Amino acid sequence: MVMEIQRPRGTRDFLPYEMARRRNVENRLRKVAKHWGYGEIKTPTFEHIELFTIKSGEGILGEIYNFKDKGEREIALRPELTAPVVRMYVEELQRSPKPLKFYYFDNCFRYERPQKGRFREFFQFGVEIIGSARPESEAEVIALAVEMLNSAGVKGDLHVGHLGIVRALFKDIQPEHQSKIMRLVDKKDDKGLEEFLDEIRAPDEMRGKLFRLIGLRGINAVHEARELAGDIEAIAQFETLLSLLDVYGMEYTVDLGIARGLDYYTGMVFEIYCEGLGAQNQVCGGGSYRLAQLFGGEDTPSTGYAIGFDRIMEICEVAPQASKRIVVVSFDDTRKEAVVIGNKLRAHVPTYVDVMGRKFKDQISYANTIGASHVVIVGKNELDAGKVALKDMRTGEQELVTVEEVAERLKLD
C-alpha cells in the first residue's frame, strides 16, 4: 500500500483551462507595463534571509519559508519582491541612468493559514520605479496600477495616504515606538493605540493631532492636515501628488490612516480594494520607500507596488483566449500519411493526430469531445486526388482542399 502524495498545503496545481485564463490576464498586465516603458526583470526564487529580515517588519518574519542549505547558509524563499529588486539594483545598477523602471511577475511564498485569496505560494505582478522621489513618479505608479487592473477588467477602490505626514508628528519618538504606532494605526486599533501612547507617555498635544490626522478622509484632508501638522514638505508633496492624480483622471480617496504592513515605506502609500474576496479584499498595495541604503547602497528613493495576481484571477471574468485546434483523422491504411500531414499543419495551427489506434469514427468522436473546430480527413479517396477533406465541426460542412489551403485558412493570426 503506497501513500498518496498530495501537494503541500496552500499550493495549487493549475490545469490547462485555468492556465489559459491566467496567461490571458498576465499578458494584459505585461502589455500595459511594457507600454508604459517598464522592463521586465527576474530575481532568484530564494535569497539570503537577511534581505527580508532587515527591514520588512515583524509581520513578515513569522511567515518566511526558510531553511539552511548544504553550505550552512540561511536561505529564505522570497515572501515579496520589492527587497530583491532593490538588492539587484544596489548590486549591479546603481550607476545606470535614472529613473529605472521595472516590472516583474513571479511567485512568492509565505507561511500563512490558507484562505480565500490567500495561498502559501502566490503570484505577484509588481512594478518599481527607482531613483525618483518626485510626486510625478508617484502619480505615474499609481496610475499604472489602476490601468493594469483596468486591463484585467478589475475595478477597485483606490485609497491614497502619506506616511511622511503622520510621521512628522512624532519625529521625536524612538523609531521602534514609531513603527509600533504605525502598526496600530494600520490595524485601526484605536484602543490599542491609546494604551500604547499612555505607555510611552506621549505628549497630549501630539496624541490629539495624531488621532485627528489618521481619521482624515476625502478632499479636505490635505487642508486639515496642514493645520494639524504644520506647513511641512510632506504635505506640499502630497498635495502635488493629488493634483497629478487629477490630471491622470484618477478617482481616489485620501486616507491618512493607511500605514501598510511592511516597515520600509516612508512617503506616499496606496492600496486598492475590491469586492468579492472575503477578508482578502486588497488586490494591490504599494508606496514610496527607501531601502537601498539598508542593503549597502546609496540612499535612493523608490516607488512601487504589487498586485495580488491570484486575487485578481478570483474576481475577474476573463476567459481563456479561444484556441483553435484541429484533429487529423485517418484510416488504418492512411495513418502514416496522416502523421506527415499533421506535422505540416502544426507549423500553423494546434493539431492533434490520433495516437490511440482509434477507428475512424472514434477519432471524429474524440475531435468532437475536445471541441476541435475542424477535422482534416486523410483517406485514400482524398489522397488519390492529392487533397484532404476539411470538415467544419460546427456546421458539419466538408470540402476537398489541399493541405496548403487548410494551413492558409486555419493558421493563427
Partner RNA sequence: GCCUGGGUGGGGUAGCUGGUCAUCCUAUGGGACUGUGGAUCCUACGACUCGGGUUCAAAUCCCGACCCGGGCCCCA
Q: Which residues bind RNA (CB under 7 A)?
A: 6, 8-10, 57, 59, 63, 80, 110, 112-119, 122, 124, 183, 186-187, 189, 260-262, 271, 278-285, 306-308, 310-311, 331, 356-362, 364-369, 377, 379-382, 389, 391, 393-396, 398
Give the single-character DSSP code of 214: H
Tell me how far, at minimum, the Cβ of 262 lies from RNA, in Å. Answer: 5
Residue closer to RNA (CB basis): 11 or 24: 11
Tell me how far, at minimum, the Cβ of 125 lies from RNA, in Å. Answer: 10
Residue closer to RNA (CB basis): 89 or 289: 289
Tell me how far, at minimum, the Cβ of 366 lies from RNA, in Å. Answer: 7
> What are the angstrom distances between the C-alpha of 265 and each of 65, 106, 254, 261, 315?
23, 22, 17, 9, 28
Tell me how far, at minimum, the Cβ of 176 lies from RNA, in Å. Answer: 16
C-alpha of 264 from chain center? 20
Tell me how far, at minimum, the Cβ of 261 lies from RNA, in Å. Answer: 2
Residue closer to RNA (CB basis): 297 or 379: 379
What's at 219, amino acid-wise?
I
Tell me how far, at minimum, the Cβ of 72 lies from RNA, in Å. Answer: 25
Residue closer to RNA (CB basis): 143 or 367: 367
C-alpha of 350 from chain center? 29
CA 303/CA 308 separation, integer angstroms: 17
| Nearest by Cα to 288 from 167, 177, 130 | 130
Residue closer to RNA (CB basis): 257 or 379: 379
259, 263, 265, 268: CA torsion to nearest 10: 0
Residue closer to RNA (CB basis): 41 or 400: 400
CA 405/CA 383 separation, integer angstroms: 15
| Nearest by Cα to 394 from 328, 324, 333, 331 | 324
